Amino acid sequence: MTHTAFILGMVICVATQQAGNDRVVPVYPDWVLEGLTMEPSGGMTVKLNAGVARLGGRDVAIAAAQFELAPPTSVRVHDEQLVLSEEKPSGWAHGTSLKQCTCFGNGHGTPLPGCLKPGSLRVKSAAGEEGQVFEEGKDYLVDWNWDKLGRVAEGAIKRNQTVFVDYEYRRVRLDSIIVKPNGSAALVAGESKPTCPLPPPIDADAARLANILVWFDTQEIVQGLLFPCGPVFPEPDRAERERRQQLVSRTLAKLQAGQEVTIVTWGDSVTAGGDAQPPERAFPYAFANELRVKYPQAKVNLVNAGIGGSSTNSRLAGLEQDVIAHKPDLVTIEFVNDCGLSPEKLQQNWHEAIGKISAAGGEVIVITPHWTMPPWMGMSYADQWGRDRRPAVEAMRKVAADLSVGLAATSRRWEHLAPEGLPYVTLLWNGINHPDNRGHWLFVQDLMTYF
C-alpha cells in the first residue's frame, strides 16, 4: 500500500493504492420483482433486459430495450483574455486557470479536473484570426488535466502580455432509465453541468430504475457507470440510538431541559464551510439549526473552529484557544486533511486532543471524512463502487472506540451513495474535495443520530 500526499490549497488529501479493494455489488430497487438488469452493449449504448416491476399496485411486465446515450457536451470559448502565470502549470494551484473550467465559472473557485477538452486549446496574440498563434511547449505550457496554463520565459509571449485563448470545456451529466405502468421503459437525459449534475426530473407515474454517469471524458458506457437506485442508507435502530445518546448524555440533557449549550466544530476547510452555498448550508451551521428546531427551548451556541488547510498536526498547539477556551459542551472533530498522516500519528494527535477536551468537560463526536476525487481514493471515474479503505478512516474509528466517544461514520454514507444510485463524485462541488450542500447534509444526518 502506498501513500502520496496532495496539498490542495486549503486541504491536504492522500491517495491510496488499495490491494483487493472490494467492489460493492449493485442492488436494484425493491419494486423490481424480476429481471430489469442493465448491461453495456457497446459504445454509448445500454441494454435493459426484460423483467417485471411492481408499479401502481400491480405487477407490470417491462419489455427489453436498448438506449443510446449522448456523449458529454462541450462548449466552445473564443478569445478569452488571460495573462499567463510565470510558474509552470501543475495541479490545481500552479499556473493560470481557464475561466470557464473553474467550479464557480468566470475564473472563480478551483479548476475542475478533466473539464478541458484535450487538443482544443489555441493561444493567440490577438482576437479572432489575426495575430500570432503561439506554440505549446515553446511559448506556453499546459496541464491538460487541471486546465492550467503557464508562460515559457524564453518563448514569444512577453511577461504580463494579454493573450487570447480559444478552447472547449466539457460538462458532466446524469441520465436516468425509467419504467412506466404501461410496460415501457425510457431514457431521460439529465441537464449538462460543469459540476454536481442532478438526476433528471421524471413523470409522477414513472419509477427511476437507475442513473448513468456521463463524465467529462466518457466515450463508452461501462458497467461502473451504471447506478441502479437501490435502498437508502440504513439508519440506526432504537437500541443503537440510545447507545449513541449515552455518549453525549450531558449535552443531550441540557438540550432537553431547555438550557444553553455550546458546540465547537473543530476541523479544516470542510468544517469552515468548503463550497456550501450559501455558507449557512455547511454542516456546522445546518447541524446547529437542526438542534434549534428539535429543541426550541434550548439556546444553541455554535463556534465554528474550522480553518482551511489545517490538520491536527497544525491545530493541536491552538486547541486551548480555538476550542477549550469556549467551554464547549460538545466538540465535533472533522479533518479530512488527516488522511495525509500515518495512522500512528493520527491516533496520537486525536488521543491528545480528545483527552484535553474531555478533561475540560466537553463531549466529543469524531466524524469520519467524506470521499475525495477518485484518484485520491484509489478508484477511477468509470468505477466508483469501491469500499472506503483509507487507513486514516480506520484509525479514526479506532480512536472513537478506544476512548468511548461518539462516531459519526459519514464515510459510510458516502460509500453507500453508489448503491443508492448516485455516483459520489457528483456531490463534490469542486470535483476534488469539497462537498456540495447534499454532501454537507450527510454529516448532519449522522450527527443528529445522537440527538
pLDDT interval class at 25 (50, 70, 90):
confident
- Write down the pLDDT at residue 22: 75
Reported as a single tens digit per residue, the pLDDT across 323-367 is: 999 999 999 999 999 999 999 999 999 999 999 999 999 999 999
Asked if residue 2 has pLDDT above 60, the reply is no
Q: Looking at residues 172-194, what average pLDDT do you find?
A: 97
Strands 363-367 and 406-408: parallel
Asked if residue 14 has pLDDT above 80, the reply is no
CA distances from 400 to 245, 318, 332 (A): 14, 22, 12
DSSP-derived secondary structure for 284-305: HHHHHHHHHHHSTTSEEEEEEE
Asked if residue 406 has pLDDT above 90, the reply is yes
Asked if residue 102 has pLDDT above 60, the reply is yes
pLDDT interval class at 78 (50, 70, 90):
very high
- Write down the pLDDT at residue 23: 76
- Write down the pLDDT at residue 1: 30
Asked if residue 432 has pLDDT above 60, the reply is yes
User: Which has the closest alpha carbon to 440: 304, 271, 316, 318?
Assistant: 271
CA 436 to the chain's CA centroid: 7
Q: How far apart are the first and last CA of the chain?
A: 38
Query: Helices 343-359 and 391-403 meet at what angle, rounded to 10?
Result: 30
Q: Retrieve residue 299's grid coordinates.
A: 439556546
Asked if residue 13 has pLDDT above 80, the reply is no
| 10 φψ region: left (φ > 0), alpha (ψ -120 to 50), beta (else) | alpha
CA distance 255 to 31: 41
38 φ, ψ to 5°?
Answer: -120, 155
Q: Are the beta carbons of 305 and 265 closer than 8 angstroms?
A: yes
Q: Looking at residues 217-245, what average pLDDT do you find?
A: 97
Q: What percent of the chain has pLDDT above 70?
A: 95
Asked if residue 3 has pLDDT above 70, the reply is no
Reported as a single tens digit per residue, the pLDDT across 369-387 is: 999 999 999 999 999 999 9
- Write down the pLDDT at residue 21: 54
CA distances from 316 to 121, 214, 250, 362, 412 (A): 46, 42, 25, 16, 27
Strands 122-124 and 162-170: antiparallel
Helix or strand run (H / E) with residue 399? helix 391-403
62 φ, ψ to 5°?
Answer: -110, 125
- Write down the pLDDT at residue 24: 83
Q: Retrieve residue 198's grid coordinates.
A: 442532478
- Write down the pLDDT at residue 258: 98
User: Which has the closest alpha carbon to 176: 164, 185, 188?
Assistant: 188
What structural domains does the chain harbor?
28-71+172-228 (2.60.40), 74-170 (no CATH), 238-448 (3.40.50.1110)
User: Which has the closest alpha carbon to 83: 141, 139, 150, 135?
Assistant: 150
pLDDT interval class at 20 (50, 70, 90):
very low
DSSP-derived secondary structure for 133-180: BP-BTTTEEEETTTTEEEE-TTSSSPTT-EEEEEEEEE-BEEEEEEE-
- Write down the pLDDT at residue 6: 35
Reported as a single tens digit per residue, the pLDDT across 307-322 is: 999 999 999 999 999 9
Q: Looking at residues 154-164, what average pLDDT do you find?
A: 97
Helix or strand run (H / E) with residue 327? none
Asked if residue 50 has pLDDT above 70, the reply is yes
CA distance 346 to 42: 46
Strands 260-267 and 226-228: unpaired
pLDDT interval class at 130 (50, 70, 90):
confident
106 φ, ψ to 5°?
Answer: 55, 30
User: Which has the closest alpha carbon to 417: 447, 379, 391?
Assistant: 379
Asked if residue 8 has pLDDT above 60, the reply is no
Helix or strand run (H / E) with residue 426? none
- Write down the pLDDT at residue 18: 39
| Average pLDDT in the chain | 94
CA distance 169 to 412: 33
* DSSP-derived 3-state class of residue 421: coil
CA distance 325 to 318: 10
User: Which has the closest alpha carbon to 103: 438, 428, 440?
Assistant: 428
Question: Whole-prediction pTM value?
Answer: 0.92
Instruction: Spell out a b/e string for 138-148, using b for 16 or more CB atoms within 10 Å of the CB, else e.
Output: ebbbbbbebbb
CA distance 125 to 53: 61
User: CA 422, 426, 429: angle at the middle one, nearest 5?
Assistant: 150
